[in-house]
Chains A and B, each alone.
Chain A
Amino acid sequence: MKFRNYKDGDEHQIVELLNQVYNNWGTVEEWCRKYKLNPNFDPRLIFVCEDKDKIVGCVHYLRRDLKFNSNSLHAYIGGDGATLPAYSGRGVFSKGMSLLYREVKRRRGSIIYGFNSESIYADFYRRKCGEVAVYRPHVLIKILDFEGLISSILPAANRLIGRRIPIKKTNPVTLRLLLDDKITIDLCISGEIKLCKILSEPDITVKTRLRILSDALSDERRLLAALVLRRISLKISGSSVPKLVMLMVEGVKRRR
């Protein structure tokens, strides 16, 4: 594997990589509008990792100054970064970031900055890069079409967590979400999570308010608190208990 800066024509392979990793990331035209046509575009701030002439990883940064106290900081903002799943765990992204830091230090830049989830920040950006989390804005959402939103995010959710679900396709679990006494979402969980129509009694029924559910899903401790305080009511049908116990045992075995 070798690392190098972006060169003209790479955008086709980069976009192919981003689409493989993020599913439906976008088109070459969109990439060009975001990076190449950006007034601050600089090919030396884009690193790609090649294996046998195929781009398997990329790191994008752009120059963008940041206000700090009464000053302006010479800063660089993080853009799209990706590694082909087959190459994950081989230090591709880490090497790309180390090259980027070296380049920014050479330019006497003040800081590099970016946005991440808590776990990615803690595992990589803090531990490996030495970055400091200075601001954690709450993410707020107003749902306009609940069913449309669920069905559009399920493919991505399945890619992320589907492998971890210890439920076989032959023995699916049905889950009914009753939200705010007006929204009913039926889900069927087998090798993946699917929207469905449950005709008999579901295995699990979760009844709560949407606000409480979204708050609980944002943090494991909040979820536990909501369950303990019965802000989320959980009903398991009697006939499903043996099946769910088996699944829990299977889940524990997998973790080990």
Chain B
Amino acid sequence: MECSLKSPEVYQLSQKFNETTSELSGFSLRSPLLWSEIYNNQETHLLLAKEDTRTLGYLIVALHLYSTARIATISELCVWERKQETANALLNQAQFFAKQMNATALVSWESSEDKINQALYQFGFLNVGKSVFSIGVTSIDFIKKTLESNNKPVSAKHGSGSKNVFVDLSNKRLFAYSGMFIVRINSDGTVSVEEGESGEKPYARIQTDIVTFSEIILALQDPLTALFLGRIKIKPVTKTLRVVKILRQLSNRVNWYLPLGDYF
């Protein structure tokens, strides 16, 4: 059944999205305000899957014009009960509305949930490639939040006490963040990041660029590979392997997910 994006139920639905994706990163937190911002310029339908009075999931289908092509996009598909079956029921509704809007195709992004993906493929969706979601770091805040929120104990086996690793990302060629900071690995294993150069002599110095450093801390690139490719320099050389080990321990794999509705 269809529901208005202005109905009072919208708040609960947006919160359901935030709950079901609470372990993931990259999306904008859903709220009626965000929905009105995203969907105010499109022909949009909010579809619900219901059993008696209980809502089992929702789907937002919106019409987009690409050149002269009329494409219906599944902007959000969120289910929380009997997932595959509910997703399938919602996809059937979406196809009905897409045809009503004279769309020539229905487009979606893969979901973070296997059961939804299974439903999409069973429904006849074909894979036509990938989109790239990229981020450009503009301040130390992102690095702090990545390293400090991780805060899994970094092994103190490398020696006693805390260690300061100085990181130099001063590559002026790139538009993104370039600067210097200290990564302090405390004796209790927690990590803190301080911008600038401290007076004390660091345990080691790392020189690299923001792309390589971000890829290492997000576990998208292994520090040893970066070292072999000459993307990172560690001083003193005698501590290279120990610093590589620290970097591996600092890296934090983030599970990203964005619904197609976040595409702008």
Query: Which residues in A have some Cβ–Cβ distance to B below 8 Å?
Result: 22-24, 26, 30, 33-34, 37-40, 62, 64-74, 77-79, 97-98, 101-102, 104-105, 108-118, 121, 125-126, 128-145, 148-149, 152-153, 155-156, 210-211, 214-215, 217-219
Q: Residue on A with the closest CB to B70? A: A152
Please name all residues of chain A whose beta carbon is closer than 8 Å to the beta carbon of B264 when the two chains form the complex. 62, 77-79, 114-115
Does B235 sit within 8 A of A, measured CB to CB? no
Are B141 and A74 in contact, with the CB atoms below 8 A?
A: yes
Please name all residues of chain B whose beta carbon is closer than 8 Å to the beta carbon of A131 when the two chains form the complex. 134-136, 176, 211
Are A143 and B104 in contact, with the CB atoms below 8 A?
A: yes
Are A112 and B263 in contact, with the CB atoms below 8 A?
A: no
Q: Residue on A with the closest CB to B137? A: A111
Are A136 and B130 in contact, with the CB atoms below 8 A?
A: yes
In the complex, what distance in Å separates the CA atom of A65 from the CA atom of B33?
13
Interface size class of B (residues with CB under 8 A): 35 or more
Are A24 and B132 in contact, with the CB atoms below 8 A?
A: no
Are A69 and B258 in contact, with the CB atoms below 8 A?
A: no
By secondary structure, the B interface counts as: mixed
In the complex, what distance in Å separates the CA atom of A125 from the CA atom of B218?
18
Does B209 sit within 8 A of A, measured CB to CB? yes
**Interface of chain B residues 143 through 168 with chain A (CB within 8 A):** 145-146, 149-150
In the complex, what distance in Å separates the CA atom of A22 from the CA atom of B104?
19
Query: Which residues in B have some Cβ–Cβ distance to A below 8 Å?
Result: 24-29, 33, 37, 40-41, 65-70, 95, 98-99, 103-110, 120-121, 123-139, 141-142, 145-146, 149-150, 171, 174-177, 209-211, 214-215, 218, 220, 252, 254, 256-258, 262-264
In the complex, what distance in Å separates the CA atom of A37 from the CA atom of B237?
56
Are A141 and B130 in contact, with the CB atoms below 8 A?
A: no
Are B215 and A132 in contact, with the CB atoms below 8 A?
A: yes
- B176 to A: closest C-beta gap in Å: 3
Please name all residues of chain B whose beta carbon is closer than 8 Å to the beta carbon of A110 when the two chains form the complex. 137-139, 141-142, 145
Are A142 and B105 in contact, with the CB atoms below 8 A?
A: yes
Query: A39-B37, A132-B218 known; A109 and B139 CB under 8 Å?
Result: yes
Please name all residues of chain A whose beta carbon is closer than 8 Å to the beta carbon of B129 when the two chains form the complex. 138-139, 217-219
Please name all residues of chain A whose beta carbon is closer than 8 Å to the beta carbon of B109 when the two chains form the complex. 137-140
Are B125 and A156 in contact, with the CB atoms below 8 A?
A: no
Are B263 and A68 in contact, with the CB atoms below 8 A?
A: no
In the complex, what distance in Å separates the CA atom of A62 from the CA atom of B33?
15
CB contact between B37 and one of A30, A40, A129 (< 8 Å): that residue: A40
